[in-house]
Structure 1
């Protein structure tokens, strides 16, 4: 499978990601996000994702009662479930219908398709994370769903969510160097012969400068930041808080 090169449009990357996660790597991600035994490389990725999920939840707080949360790029639903367990009404969207099917299989918190989630419930749907329901949402969370996109596309996604948010946007970026992209191209994370989608490292300082210069984000101020590095997993949490 050949994925788009950096610089391609958001829509092209989104479509390639849908194909990858929906078909090529569905079984790999089902295993990675479960309790199944995996390779040492995948185990470091699993541990890194667990650490990042915990960091995001700590940023949101232990009690999410009354909160409306959008999980943008929810994958197999682990963060959505954890947020619902803390009392949030969760809208969870992912580009891959297969990931959504897996997420639904793993929790009794899912409401019927098309229904609205209440406190402690999750409304799963497949689609474009930047075209999710209007909200309003107390929080928007995007864990490792923006790491494949260049800076302009990240700004575009943040700007699309901004009018729907009353509290914060908590998201992650790939903060590294070209070496980080090379690590992901090795192919050890997924079955031999399959390539993981290319990531697009973005310097945090450059991103913050772009955010400050974006009119749609003028009501947000930078909050918590934290980097998680576990073997092949390298990701940085960033928070934008509504003034």
Structure 2
């Protein structure tokens, strides 16, 4: 979190369907008097606070998202998702938060047994941060992203990182495609969609959650920027400080709304956790058929 004293990430799981809330950390005394944009965290990995006054997407023109992640957004997030040292403190911290999300998704999946031969849809794959580790574990991955630039980068990284097998496991190259979420089809054991719902207002997110659930046979994993009083306040403060990055509007989602959307299509939340660093926060949920 922006007001945390360290870069330590926290992840908490609840195994019932009732989501829990956490209180934000208290502000250090020296930071209580003034709140500036430098102290406000990005809303998950999909948008920074300076993006919050930008054009609406998901509920408006998805070309805004496509163009952003094919151009300036691609360069920005390629660095954040990568391993280069050419990042600032905030970007490095977001990288840590995102890597924690991927790490916890992998733990969710591998805790239930081997992934060899398990079909997984990685919806909104970015540069392959999740698709590649899944392939290393033997999963059969269909990965897609709205950005052609992201998909091209993911393909290249997969070729480099999957050239060598993982012990007895021979990785299967993921099938990378340029697609938006609405265009996804087929059936998969597991569907994963990380940090994408931030582009959808709740009215659109409900339909998207239902669509993703229709593709999954056994499990659906989602991450989103949680809508709580604290995070919503940060978002509103961010809107008062428009910056040079006019890319995407960030939508927060109440945990209860996501749970309601899942319940409506016959799914229930089995695990739920909050991942936070100084400049990254995301709710991660695992849903299964009710």
With the shorter chain as reference, the TM-score category is: 0.7 to 0.9
What secondary structure does 1:211 align onto?
A: helix
Counterpart selection for 1:24 from 68, 72, 75: 72
Contact 1:143 1:172 in 2 (8 A): yes
Aligned equivalents of 2:246 and 2:280: distance in 1?
15
What secondary structure does 1:141 align onto?
A: strand
Cα distance, 1:48–1:9 mapped onto 2, change above 3 Å: closer
1:24-63 correspondence to structure 2 within 5 Å: 24-37=72-85, 38-61=87-110, 63=114
Cα distance, 1:186–1:126 mapped onto 2, change above 3 Å: farther
Partner of 2:156: 105
Partner of 1:237: 284
Partner of 2:205: 154
Partner of 1:211: 262
Larger deviation, residues 39-48 vs 201-210: 201-210
State the 1:103 CA deviation. 0.7
Partner of 1:115: none
Partner of 1:89: 140
Q: Deviations over 1:24-82 (max 9, x none)?
A: 22211121111112100111100000001111111112521121100000000010001
Q: Any stretches of 5+ residues in structure 1 without a counterpart?
A: 111-117
1:165 aligns with 2:165: no
For the pair shown, which has the larger CA radius of gyration, 1 or 2?
Answer: 2
TM-score, normalization by structure 2: 0.70
Aligned equivalents of 2:149 and 2:122: distance in 1?
16
Contact 1:184 1:198 in 2 (8 A): no
1:127 aligns with 2:179: yes
1:141 aligns with 2:188: no
State the 1:207 CA deviation. 2.3
Cα distance, 1:234–1:101 mapped onto 2, change above 3 Å: same
Counterpart selection for 1:227 from 274, 278, 284: 274
State the 1:186 CA deviation. 9.2
Contact 1:185 1:198 in 2 (8 A): no
Counterpart selection for 1:178 from 232, 242, 246: 232
Q: How large is the Cα RMSD of the aligned pairs? A: 2.6
Bigger strand share: 1
Give the count of matched residue pairs.
225
State the 1:185 CA deviation. 6.2
Moved over 3 A (4+): 8-11, 182-187
Q: Choose between structure 1 and 2 for higher RCO, CA contacts under 8 A separated by at least 6 residues.
A: 2
